[in-house]
Amino acid sequence: MKEYIEQAEAALLHTYNRYQIVLDRGEGVYLYDMNGKKYLDFVAGIAVFALGYHYPGYDEALKGQIDKLIHTSNYYYNSPAIEAAKKVKKISGMDRVFFTNSGAEAVEGAIKAARKYAWLKDGGHDHEIIAMNHSFHGRTMGALAVTGNPKYREPFEPLIGSVKYAELNDFDSVLNCVTDKTCAVILEPVQGEGGLRPAGQEFLQKLRALCDERDILLIFDEIQCGMGRTGYMFAWQRYGIKPNIMTSAKALGCGVPVGAFMMTERVAQNSLTSGDHGTTYGGNPLAAAAVDKVLEIYERDHIVDHVCQVAPYLEKRLQELTDKYDCITERRGVGLMQGLVFDHPVGETITRALEKGLLLINAGPDIIRFVPSLIITEKDIDEMIAILDTCIEG
């Protein structure tokens, strides 16, 4: 592995401080490195592998599509994209779907749709977007512009302009940002990278009412918190607050790079049209076949119901650690999207867990994030807690 890591450092652009292992294969909720060491995976590719590795039927669907057709471009229709779009509409409650290659691209499309919607109303080019502090929406220039963390934005400014930042769950801070130029408000119903912070019910209700009153588009970024992770297919369904535009990715393809942005029919009829937006690879037959199969499995095997059954147990076991150690100041999160907040940086704890066969990631310097596959069992949770317990220095 050391030789491979040295080769990687000589060839790849160093934009990641990677852990010093080379992963080779996966099975269920476990990963194995090149030396055959086994790791319990509570990262799931950063909330991507909702079905774990080699879930029955998933690989076969992809292999079957590879044998038929991988790519055609969007000059032509393909049946997997049509079938996937129908399923996405059904689970999301939205009316129109645009498939992308990633979550960041989905956010870019959502921003463009909102800007075009506003431009069609008044012909202006000075429209504003309100985003949330501590949010994370991606690394592309538009997605960075609405990411509420200066650390990510500052090296790349100027980004797209006219973005203001409010505080999640502080409605007055949103009101202070609103002007007659505001065209959209974008937020994660549960912030992921920003610290596993859920939006409040009252906050979202007031936000929805404000947007309705002023014809402002409400955009929900469900890239990490969607696809069943909170115990609902999408987190907004937990609150009953429907957005005008929504983004999805990560678990949408369970490993195949695919994302989507969706919108209501009213927004679709008054925003992007032919020539406004496009993608070479987005919605290609292979990616769409993955989405189609993932959503078929979710429904057939009651994946979201399983999350509702197992998530309370994860919360209970994490709370036991919180109560045990003074250095853990808080447990927060929803469903299988949990975090432990420490009073010190968690990097060493995560490294010790890695050495003992447990994969974890952080969400900021002092929070350990838990975003495992949605198929985990209580036994898997017990194994994770047992390892982590030995890695925490009280």
Encode pLDDT of 21-65 as tens digits: 999 999 999 999 999 999 999 999 999 999 999 999 999 999 999
Kindly state whether residue 253 falls inside one of the protein's structural domains: yes
Query: pTM higher than 0.85 for the full model?
Result: yes
Domain boundary residue, one of 300, 324, 342: 300
Residues 85-100: what's their mean pLDDT?
Answer: 98
**Cα 100 from Cα 218, distance rounded (Å):** 20
Sheet holding 328-334, edge to edge: 328-334, 337-342, 367-370, 361-362
Note whether 26 and 154 are same-domain residues: no
Note whether 47 and 177 are same-domain residues: no
pLDDT digits (tens, 9 = 90+) for 278-331: 999 999 999 999 999 999 999 999 999 999 999 999 999 999 999 999 999 999
**Cα 235 from Cα 229, distance rounded (Å):** 8
Kindly state whether residue 349 falls inside one of the protein's structural domains: yes
Note whether 236 and 319 are same-domain residues: no
Note whether 37 and 85 are same-domain residues: no
Note whether 267 and 308 are same-domain residues: no
Residues 343-372: what's their mean pLDDT?
Answer: 97
H or E element in which residue 295 lies: helix 285-300
Residue 161: which pLDDT band, with cuts at 50, 70 and 90?
confident
Note whether 150 and 202 are same-domain residues: yes
Is the pLDDT confidence value at 392 over 80? yes
What is the share, in percent, of the chain residues with pLDDT greater than 70? 100
Domain boundary residue, one of 268, 300, 332: 300
| Average pLDDT, rounded, for the chain | 97
Note whether 135 and 119 are same-domain residues: yes
Task: Say what the pLDDT of residue 394 is.
Answer: 56
The vertex-145 CA angle with 201 and 272, nearest 5°, equals 80
Helix/strand/coil percent split, the chain, to 5: 40, 20, 40
Domain housing 10: 2-55+302-391
**Cα 214 from Cα 309, distance rounded (Å):** 40
Task: Say what the pLDDT of residue 56 is.
Answer: 97
Residue 94: which pLDDT band, with cuts at 50, 70 and 90?
very high
pLDDT digits (tens, 9 = 90+) for 166-211: 999 999 999 999 999 999 999 999 999 999 999 999 999 999 999 9
Domain boundary residue, one of 264, 282, 300: 300
Amino acid in the structure at residue 33? D
Exposed e or buried b for every residue in 317-355, given b needs 16+ CB within 10 A?
Answer: bbeebbeebebbeebbbbbbbbbbbbeeebeebbebbbe
Note whether 199 and 281 are same-domain residues: yes
Q: Please identify which residue in the block is written with the tokens 């609405």.
A: 146
Kindly state whether residue 226 falls inside one of the protein's structural domains: yes
Going by DSSP bridges, is the β-strand pair 182-187/217-221 parallel, antiparallel, or unpaired? Answer: parallel
Going by DSSP bridges, is the β-strand pair 367-370/337-342 parallel, antiparallel, or unpaired? Answer: antiparallel
Measure Cα distances from 7 to 1, 35, 241, 354 in Å: 10, 17, 49, 22
Note whether 8 and 148 are same-domain residues: no
Kindly state whether residue 64 falls inside one of the protein's structural domains: no
**Cα 283 from Cα 271, distance rounded (Å):** 20
Sequential DSSP letters for 355-370: HTTEE-EESSTTEEEE
H or E element in which residue 106 lies: helix 103-122
Note whether 103 and 235 are same-domain residues: yes
231 burial via Cβ count (<10 Å: 0-12, 13-18, 19+): buried
Kindly state whether residue 62 falls inside one of the protein's structural domains: no
Residue 102: which pLDDT band, with cuts at 50, 70 and 90?
very high
H or E element in which residue 108 lies: helix 103-122
Going by DSSP bridges, is the β-strand pair 259-263/96-100 parallel, antiparallel, or unpaired? Answer: antiparallel
* 8 Å CB contact between 96 and 246: no
**Cα 241 from Cα 201, distance rounded (Å):** 9
Count of structural domains, the chain: 2
Kindly state whether residue 63 falls inside one of the protein's structural domains: no
Task: Say what the pLDDT of residue 299 is.
Answer: 98
Note whether 168 and 312 are same-domain residues: no
Task: Say what the pLDDT of residue 393 is.
Answer: 79
Q: Residue 374 sits in a domain of what CATH number? A: 3.90.1150.10
Kindly state whether residue 61 falls inside one of the protein's structural domains: no
Is the pLDDT confidence value at 361 over 80? yes
Note whether 126 and 159 are same-domain residues: yes
Residue 107: which pLDDT band, with cuts at 50, 70 and 90?
very high
